[in-house]
């Protein structure tokens, strides 16, 4: 057998698969100094196909999870990256080829893998109750050893996870330490069922409730506040018959309304209320909070889907301008008489991958991060490279924003906020961001002062290789690592 990847977008040039596992002890710091006091580990999840795809037209969301880690101590940064040994990865490695077919379509798989979990663990990696968990929204998470990145195995909350899936975007309530999460397509691919869970700070599921969405769709991210959880139903719709016919899992349907399903924290199906709005697209949530009555949800909102690999139901071509998302605030009056909600745009710049200072997750906040694709006051970068070219820090209350241009031939990944210590003031600390230096086929990890992301970096850490595209990541402290579960 010959191993050969397609000569197609997503598999060539800077996007070509790396398929490399390894470690570098003491990455080179090419600018500034990594503070001696900065101790902890930045974990990030990405997708890197271990084998050429089984079906044509596949895309990189449907690739094996590769976890990277950057461990900071005494001014040094040690790097390691390793594939997640999912059941799927192990089956394909044994066969030395892909056995699983199209994105979330088991009907396109090789018959030999029927019944094997299709999860890829490629979307997020987070810490809760002493466990490092790599996750993708179509399956239960996979526990990873936080030092070696070796795979421990599937984590189903000691078997208490009845849902077939668990979101890659759980929220940790910073005041209670609870993991608040859900699964969609919870009874199987394309089912409209949502399972809502809360696990206590020890990792034990203490609440479970089931809901049925108005229609089956991708519920990639959601909002959690002190008193509510909110499920956004956005019309990237799924359909079992289409899946069985070998069609795409999701299509964009511009004719359908969106819904926000609001449930009081730890509430059940009798307490869900669906708020309705006109057609639009949103994916990631920067943060959300409530005052007991009104819920505010900050999210980039666009006219159409931002995912070019999920086709428009009408056959219309992907429109990058309509796909631009503008950070906006949705406000729901939970005691109002209408089933509507309001939307207020917070910036004229388009962007995605919003994050906040997670110590203020679910509560009122004044610090957000977002990657930008378009800035009206700035000329488009002359290299013509698409993607995220700027990082912005925003105060959602005043809308004051500072920006940082990634540089020529450079694109940015999701940034994270890292507090220098747990009791540091809100928004005061570091921002870490991986920058792809595409012309040089390598990366930099920038350590920025969160209050001055537009200034000289605190340090620039050189990664001498090209890292496969990453999605989401999180910072884990030495105290958390010291309290690990087996
Ligand atoms: Fe995501």
Q: Is the dihedral of CA 162, 166, 171, 174 positive or negative?
A: positive
DSSP state of 411: E
Q: How many CB atoms lie within 10 A of CB 320?
A: 13
Ligand 1 centroid to residue 338 C-alpha, Å: 31
What is the 464 CA–ligand 1 centroid distance (Å)? Answer: 26
CA 61 / ligand 1 centre spacing (Å): 11
Q: Which of 391, 403, 377, 370 is nearest to 435 (CA)?
A: 391
What is the 62 CA–ligand 1 centroid distance (Å)? 14
C-alpha 241/C-alpha 365 separation (Å) is: 44
Among the listed residues 361, 16, 29, the one whose alpha carbon sits nearest the alpha carbon of residue 171 = 361
3-class SS at 153?
Answer: strand
Ligand 1 centroid from CA 470, angstroms: 10
| 482: CB partners within 8 A, 6+ apart | none
Residue pointed to by tokens 């994270």 = 416
pTM above 0.75, yes or no: yes
> 128 C-alpha vs ligand 1 centroid, how far in Å?
18
**Ligand 1 centre distance from Cα of residue 165 (Å):** 15
Q: How far is the CA of 419 from the centre of ligand 1 (A)?
A: 22
- Ligand 1 centre to CA of 123 (Å) is 6
Contact 247, 229 (CB under 8 A): no
The predicted pLDDT at position 272 comes to 96
CA distances from 246 to 54, 88, 92, 235 (A): 13, 20, 21, 20
Can you read off the two tokens belonging to residue 247? 């069609």
Token reading at 485: 């579960």
| Spatial separation of the C-alpha atoms in residues 355 and 373, rounded to whole Å | 16
User: Residue 472 Cα, ligand 1 centroid: separation in angstroms?
Assistant: 7
What is the spatial distance between Cα 444 and Cα 98, in angstroms, rounded to a whole number?
Answer: 31
Please, which residues bridge with residue 280 across strands? none
Give all strands of the β-sheet with 40-47 in edge-to-edge order. Answer: 22-24, 76-83, 65-73, 40-47, 470-476
- pLDDT (tens, 9 = 90+) of the chain, 486 residues, equals 899 999 998 899 999 999 999 999 999 999 999 999 999 999 999 999 999 999 988 888 899 999 999 999 999 999 999 999 999 999 999 999 999 999 999 999 999 999 999 999 999 999 999 999 999 999 999 999 999 999 999 999 999 999 999 999 999 999 999 999 999 999 999 999 999 999 999 999 999 999 999 999 999 999 999 999 999 999 999 999 999 999 999 999 999 999 999 999 999 998 999 999 999 999 999 999 999 999 999 999 999 999 999 999 999 999 999 999 999 999 999 999 999 999 999 999 999 999 999 999 999 999 999 999 999 999 999 999 999 999 999 999 999 999 999 999 999 999 999 999 999 999 999 999 999 999 999 999 999 999 999 999 999 999 999 999 999 999 999 999 999 997
Cα 288 to ligand 1 centroid, rounded to whole Å: 16
pLDDT recorded at residue 61: 86
Q: How far is the CA of 410 from the centre of ligand 1 (A)?
A: 21
33/390 Cα distance (integer angstroms): 23
Interval between CA 221 and ligand 1 midpoint (Å): 7
Residue given tokens 């087996």 in the structure block: 486
Contact predicate 370/353, CB 8 Å: yes
Per-residue CA distances from 110 to 60, 100, 289 (Å): 19, 6, 45
| Pairing state between β 142-144 and 151-154 | antiparallel
Ligand 1 centre distance from Cα of residue 41 (Å):
20
Give the sheet arrangement for strand 258-264, strand by strand. 223-224, 228-233, 258-264, 273-277
Residue in 451, 323, 327, 299 with CA at minimum distance from that of residue 386:
323
Distance CA 261, CA 232 (A): 6
CA of residue 83 to ligand 1 center, whole Å? 19
For the chain, give the number of residues.
486
450 C-alpha vs ligand 1 centroid, how far in Å? Answer: 22
Are the C-beta atoms of residues 30 and 463 closer than 8 Å to each other? no
Separation of CA 420 and ligand 1 centre (Å): 25
CA end-to-end span of the chain? 40
Structure tokens at 72: 């900071």
Residue showing tokens 């139901």: 313
- 31 Cα–ligand 1 center, Å: 31
Residue 471 Cα to ligand 1 middle (Å): 7
- How many angstroms separate the alpha carbon of residue 283 from the centre of ligand 1? 8
Residue 412 alpha carbon to ligand 1 centre in Å: 15
Instruction: Give Cα 220 distance to the centre of its chain.
Output: 8
352 Cα to the center of ligand 1, angstroms: 10
Tell me which DSSP letter residue 17 carries.
Answer: -
282 Cα to the center of ligand 1, angstroms = 11
Give me ligand 1 centre to Cα 136, in Å. 9
Greatest pairwise CA separation for the chain in angstroms: 65
Ligand 1 center from residue 285 Cα (angstroms): 9
The reported pLDDT for the residue numbered 57 is 85
């Amino acid at each position: 057998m010959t191993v050969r990847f397609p000569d197609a977008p997503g598999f060539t040039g800077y996007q070509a698969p790396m398929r490399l596992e390894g470690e570098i002890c003491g990455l080179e710091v090419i600018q500034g100094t990594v503070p001696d006091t900065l101790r902890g580990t930045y974990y990030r999840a990405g997708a890197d196909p271990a084998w050429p795809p089984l079906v044509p037209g596949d895309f990189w969301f449907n690739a094996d999870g590769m976890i990277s880690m950057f461990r900071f101590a005494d001014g040094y940064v040690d790097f390691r990256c390793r594939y997640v040994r999912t059941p799927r990865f192990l089956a394909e490695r044994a066969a030395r080829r892909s056995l699983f077919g199209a994105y979330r379509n088991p009907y396109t798989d090789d018959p030999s893998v029927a019944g094997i979990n299709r999860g890829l663990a490629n979307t997020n990696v987070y810490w809760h109750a002493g466990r490092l968990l790599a996750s993708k929204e179509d399956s239960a998470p996979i526990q990873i050893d936080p030092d070696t990145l070796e795979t421990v195995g599937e984590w189903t909350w000691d078997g208490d996870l009845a849902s077939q899936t668990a979101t890659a975007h759980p929220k940790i309530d910073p005041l209670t330490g609870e993991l608040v999460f859900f699964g969609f397509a919870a009874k199987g691919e394309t089912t409209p069922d949502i399972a809502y869970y809360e696990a206590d700070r020890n990792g034990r599921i203490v609440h479970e409730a089931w809901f049925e969405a108005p229609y089956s769709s991708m519920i990639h991210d959601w909002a959690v506040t002190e008193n509510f959880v909110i499920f956004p139903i956005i019309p990237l719709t799924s359909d079992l018959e289409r899946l069985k016919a070998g069609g795409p899992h999701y299509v964009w349907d511009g004719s359908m309304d969106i819904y926000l399903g609001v449930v009081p924290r730890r509430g059940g199906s009798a307490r869900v209320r669906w708020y309705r709005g006109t057609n639009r697209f949103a994916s990631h949530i920067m943060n959300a909070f409530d005052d007991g009555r009104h819920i505010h949800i900050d999210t980039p909102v666009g006219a159409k889907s931002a995912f070019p690999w999920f086709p428009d139901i009408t056959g219309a071509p992907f429109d990058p301008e309509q796909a631009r998302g503008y950070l906006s605030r949705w406000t729901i009056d939970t005691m109002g008489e209408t089933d509507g909600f309001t939307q207020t745009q917070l910036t004229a710049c388009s962007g995605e991958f919003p994050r906040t200072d997670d110590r203020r997750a679910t509560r009122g906040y004044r610090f957000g991060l977002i990657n930008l694709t378009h800035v009206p006051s700035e000329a488009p970068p002359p290299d013509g490279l698409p993607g995220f070219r700027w990082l912005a820090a925003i105060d959602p209350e005043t809308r004051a924003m500072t920006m940082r241009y990634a540089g020529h031939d450079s694109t940015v990944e999701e940034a994270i906020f890292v507090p220098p210590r747990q009791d540091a003031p809100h928004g005061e600390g570091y921002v870490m961001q991986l920058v792809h230096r595409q012309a040089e086929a390598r990366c930099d990890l920038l350590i920025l002062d969160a209050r001055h992301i537009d200034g000289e970096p605190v340090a620039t850490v050189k990664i001498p290789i090209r890292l496969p595209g990453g999605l989401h990541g999180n910072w884990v402290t030495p105290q958390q690592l010291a309290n690990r579960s087996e």
